[in-house]
Amino acid sequence: MSTKVLLSLGKSFYMAYPYLGEKLRAMGLDVCELTDYDYPTPEDEVLAAVTDADIYVVGVEKVNKRVIDNAPRLKLIIKHGAGYDNIDVDYAKEKGILVTFAAGKNCGSVAELAMGLILSAARGITTSYIRLRDNNWALYMGDELEGKTLGIVGFGAIGQRLAKYAKAFDMDILAYDPYVEAAICEANGASKTDFDTILRESDFISLHIPATQENIGLINKDAFAKMKTTSYLINTSRGEVVDEDALIAALKSGEIKAAALDVFSSEPPRGDLISVPNVLATPHIGGSSIGGARNLCEHTCENIRRFLNGEPLLCQL
């Protein structure tokens, strides 16, 4: 019986570098592709396809207890990305299923978007375009980045890459990450500090943390109260780390100046959030670049090759 690989990946993302299925078939594998949607594949389709899968390569679909229990042959789950909060890793391990992810493989893509959101929010690029499109020739007096303080919450591969980009704009960088040593922060041009200092002193706060239990709702009413009224919140990590009701209130009351968001607690996002005038929003495109898709494809193929050959896996959880 041939080894079957199930792919459930976003249509636009997959088509940006559409060679994963081809490469896996060249390895002699039986490949099933669920790549028809730009949002999570409906669970009933996943349940039907995963039944006889040995390897499941997943994008944003939920790999929960129900899915795992419906896949008696499953031996390996590969997250085709860095954030694996959509996978019940503990239950997979309990069932003897290996789980890997792709740490750092699309860090440049996400960090570039975060930098772009900082620039767009600070200079009103999107706002100015909308005004001009509506025949409203009006100047937008934005903020320069030089000399401003960027607080990076989560200083892994993405946060470190963002620090590099921000340094080119002569920004001062603060980093908060309890799992990263001060020497690593300093080597990447940042000063390690505590969370409250990030909130109080940053002109821009960029989030790069997973949606773990300790991080869900981390940016809440109390956090906004400590931030500068001139500050910007940037989130390209996970929507759940921000209390969206508190964010709306902070934006409307002037507790913070603006927010630029690529991720939301529910996707597509709630209308009352993205309709707030000082919100800039994009539809979870952080990792969606051709280069990022290529890197993930190569990483996934290498991990499957290692699995088939009984070799140690990359980024195993």
238 classed as catalytic: yes
CA atoms of 13 and 96, how far apart (whole Å): 30
Q: DSSP letters along the chain, please?
A: ---EEEEE--HHHHHHSTTHHHHHHHTT-EEEEE---SSPPPHHHHHHHHTT-SEEEESSS-B-HHHHHT-TT--EEEESSS--TTB-HHHHHHTT-EEE--TTTTHHHHHHHHHHHHHHHHHTHHHHHHHHHTT----------TT-EEEEE--SHHHHHHHHHHHTTT-EEEEE-TTS-HHHHHHTT-EE--HHHHHHH-SEEEE-----TTTTT-B-HHHHHHS-TT-EEEE-S-GGGB-HHHHHHHHHHTSSSEEEES--SSSSPPHHHHTSTTEEE-SS-TT-SHHHHHHHHHHHHHHHHHHHTTPPPTTB-
Q: Which of 238, 240, 255, 299 is catalytic?
A: 238
Q: Which of 94, 181, 214, 267 is catalytic?
A: 267
Taking a C-beta distance cutoff of 8 angstroms, is the pair 60, 40 a contact?
yes
Q: Which of 80, 161, 284, 299 is catalytic?
A: 284
270 classed as catalytic: no
CB atoms within 10 A of CB 36: 12
Catalytic positions, please? Answer: 238, 267, 284
